[in-house]
Amino acid sequence: MQACPYDALYIDPNKGTAAKCNYCAHRIEHSFEPACVIVCPTESIISGDLDDPGSNISQLVSSHDTTVRKPQSGAKPNLFYIDASEDMLDPAATEVTGSGMWTEQAFGVGHFAKYAESRLDDSNTTSMIVQLALEKKAKKSSPRDQAIIRDVMERLSGEDDSAKRSYDQPSKGILWGWEVSAYIWTKGIAAGTYVVAVLSMLAGLVEMSDSLWTMTLGIGIVFLAITGFLLVIDLDRPERFLYVMLRPNWDSWLVKGAYVLSGYGGILALSIAVILLDLDRSFLLLLALAGVPLALLTGVYTAWLLRQAKGRSWSEDSFLPAKFLFETITIGAAVFFPLALMDPLSFLVGGIVLAGILVHDNRLVIRPQMEPLL
Query: Which residue ranges form the domains of the chain, and what is each CATH number?
Result: 25-93 (no CATH), 99-170 (no CATH), 178-360 (1.20.1630.10)
DSSP-derived secondary structure for 57-96: HHHHHHHS-EE-S-GGG----S--EES--HHHH-GGGS--
Give start and end residues of each alpha helix (H) in 206-252. 210-233, 241-246
pTM over 0.75: no
Q: For the chain (length 374 residues), average pLDDT per consecutive 10? A: 65 74 83 85 85 88 85 78 77 64 48 44 46 64 70 59 60 61 88 92 86 91 92 76 80 88 94 90 90 94 82 72 89 86 68 64 41 34
Closest CA to 246 of 233, 235, 258, 236: 258
Q: What does the alpha-carbon distance between residue 71 and residue 10 come to, in Å, rounded to a whole number?
A: 30
Give SS3 for 12.
Answer: coil
Give SS3 for 20.
Answer: coil
Per-residue pLDDT, 294: 95
Q: First vs last Cα of the chain: how many Å apart? A: 17
Per-residue pLDDT, 240: 72
Closest CA to 78 of 102, 98, 55, 105: 55
Q: What does the alpha-carbon distance between residue 58 and residue 50 come to, in Å, rounded to a whole number?
A: 5
Per-residue pLDDT, 223: 94
